[in-house]
Amino acid sequence: MSKILPLTGDHAASESMRQINPDVVAAYPITPATEIVMSFSQIVANGLADTEMVPVESEHSAMSACVGASASGVRTMTATSSQGLALMWEVLYIAAGMRLPIIMHCVNRALSAPINIHGDHSDGMGARDTGWIQIYCENAQEVYEMGIFAVRVAEHKDIMLPVMVNQDGFITSHAIEGVKMFEDADVKKFVGEYVPNMPLLDVKNPVTFGPIDLQDYYFEHKFQQAQAMRDSKKRIVELFAEFNKFSGKKYELVEQYKMEDAEIAILALSSTCGTTRVVVNELREKGIKAGMIKIRVFRPFPMDEVAAACKNLKALAVLDRADTCSGEGGAVFGDVCTAIYNLNEKKVPAINYVYGLGGRDIDEAQIKNIFNELVDIAKTGQVKTVLNYSGVRI
Amino acid sequence: MELKNSKDLPIGGKILQAGNAQEYTTGEWRNEKPVLDKSKCINCLFCWIYCPDSSVYVEEGKVTGFDYDHCKGCGICAYMCPKKCIAMQKEEK
C-alpha cells in the first residue's frame, strides 16, 4: 500500500534521497534548499540512511567532494540553490566533463545582485551549458519521482552524466502537498545497486582521472561528452517507459496539455505550468483552442519534440523565468525558436515573455493576458514585439 | 603516434594505462642537456635527489648518466653539484 505524505518540495527531495540511500552526500545548506540538507542530515543521524554525510564549508567544496566521491566509485548526491550553484560553477563543468553520475537537487532561486532568496530560474538557466542533464519539476510529486528517476539516468552506462533535478524555490520547495510515496523496497529495486565503471579506487585496475588534455585530445573528449548528451535523449525516453511502468505515470520529455487541436499555446517550465493549465481549462470552456507545452527535460534539449508540439499552432508564447541580459530574450525562447526554425516548415509566430523574476508571482490574469495576445496574433499573423515582460513595472 | 578517434577513447578523459607518462618524451622540450664528467664525480647523488623528473640514472650507488628522453634540461643537477662536474651543453637542433 503506498502512502500519501504531506511534504514540501524540499522534503519530497530528501525523502527520495532516504529511499535511494546514496553512499555519499556532500552539501552545504542554502535557502531555499536548506531543508533538503537539514532533513537529510536528520535522516542520516537517525540511522534511516547509511550515507556518509559530508558537511562541507562551501558549495565549491560540496561539489568538489561530490566529484571525489563519485570518481571513487560510489553513488553521490547533493542539493543547492542560487549563489550556491554559482559557487559550484567551475566544478559543475568538471563533474560533467569527467562523466560523473552525480545527482543534485537544485531549488531554483534568483541570483544576486540585488540579493533575493525567492524563486526564479536564473541559477538553473545559467548552468544550462555546464553539461548537466536538467529536469524541471512542476510540483513536489514530480520532485520526488524525478529525484528517483535521475539516478537511473545519470548512471546509465551510455549516459554517465550528472543530473540536476530542479524545482521552484519556495513555490514548490516550501509548499506542503500530498505526495504519493513508493515503497522503500520498490525504490531500492528500481534504482538498483550502483556498479561503477573504471572507478578511482579499483587498485587492481589503476585509472588516472583528470589529466591535462591539450590540443591533441581535448576536442575529442568534449565531442564525446556532447555526443553523450545528444544520445542521452533516446536513453531517457527508454528509461521514462520503464519508470512509467514502475510508477503508473506518463512521463515524457515534453508534456503536452490539450495540444491535439490547439491553435495557440504557452510553453513553460516548472510550477507555472500548473497555473497555465488552469487558464487553458477556462479558455477551453469559452471555446478558445488553447494548449500548454511543458518542457520537463531541458537538457538535453528536446528539439524534435518541441518542434512537433508547435507544428500546427497559429501563435506561441514562450515563458522564461530568467533573463539572459543578452539584449534579447530568455534562454528557453532561444532554444524553442531554434527548434521551430530548423525542423518545422511552417514558422509559427512566437513571442517571448520574461516573468516572475525574484519570486514575483505569476497569476492567472497575467497568463490570460498572454493568451489574449496570442488570440490576436493567431488572427492577424502579426507579432508586435517579440520580447515582452509580464508583471514588471516598467 | 597515431591519434585515436573520439569513440575509441575511454570516457571523461580517463587514462587506463598506469605509468604511461613514460611514453611522453618531455626530453624534446630541452634546450640544454646535462653532461657528466665522471672523473670529477664523487657520487654524492645530489643530482639524483634534486632532479624533478627522475632523469638521473644511478646503478649500484653510482651516477651513470641521464635519461635524455625525459630530462627537460632544467639544470638543477648542474646547479646543485658540489663538484661542478655536470655541464649544461646547448642542444643542437
Cell digits of residue B18: 598506469
- The end-to-end CA distance of chain B, in Å, is 21
C-alpha A326/C-alpha A174 separation (Å) is 31
List CB contacts (< 8 A) between A220 and chain B: 4-6, 9
Verify that A174 and A98 share a domain, yes or no: yes
Residues A10 and A148 in one domain: yes
Residues with Cβ within 8 Å of residue A216, at least 6 apart in sequence: B3
**Number of C-beta neighbours around residue B9 at 10 A:** 17
Q: Is the ipTM of this complex over 0.95?
A: no
Residue to substitute from A100, A208, A214, interface B, most B β-carbons within 10 A: A208
Domain positions in chain B = 38-93
**Residue A41 and residue A148 in one domain:** yes
Which candidate, A157, A147, A152, A162, places its Cα nearest to that of A94? A162
Average pLDDT over residues B85-90: 97
Domain end residue (candidates: A190, A213, A247)? A247
Chain B residue nearest residue A203, CA to CA: B18
Calpha distance A236→A347 (Å, rounded): 28
Q: Could you say which architecture CATH assigns to the domain B38-93? A: 2-Layer Sandwich (3.30)
Q: Angle at which helices A140-155 and A218-247 pack, to 10 degrees?
A: 130
Indicate if A103 and A179 belong to the same structural domain.
yes
Residues A259-273 pLDDT 10s:
999 999 999 999 999
CB nearest A198 (choices: B5, B7, B10): B10
What CATH number does the domain containing A192 carry? 3.40.50.970
Q: What is the DSSP string of chain B?
A: -PPPPGGGSPGGG-B-STTGGGGS-GGGG-SEEEEE-TTT-----HHHHH-TT--EEEETTEEEEE-TTT-----HHHHH-TT--EEEEEPP-
- The residue range of the domain holding A271 is 254-390
**Residue B11 in contact with partner chain A when CB distance is under 8 A:** yes
For residues A271 and A223, state if they share a domain: no
Residues of B in contact with A205 (CB under 8 A): 16
| Residue A347 · residue A386 · CB < 8 Å | no
Helix (H) or strand (E) holding A308: helix A303-310
Please write the tens of the pLDDT for every residue from A302-318.
Answer: 999 999 999 999 999 99
pTM for the whole structure:
0.93
Question: Is the Cβ of A93 closer than 8 Å to some Cβ of chain B?
Answer: no
Flag residues of chain A having pLDDT under 50.
Answer: none
Q: Residue A282 in contact with residue A266, Cβ under 8 Å?
A: no
Which residue in chain A has the smallest CA separation from B11? Answer: A99
pLDDT in tens, A232-255: 999 999 999 999 999 999 999 999
Q: Is B90 on the interface with A (CB under 8 A)?
A: no
Cell of B32: 640544454
Do A122 and A183 belong together in one domain? yes
Q: Which residues pair with A164 in a beta bridge?
A: A104, A134
Residue that finishes a domain, picked among A247, A262, A284: A247
A75 and A156 together in one domain: yes
Domain count, chain A: 2
Q: Are residues A153 and A277 in the same domain?
A: no
Does A73 lie in the same domain as A214? yes
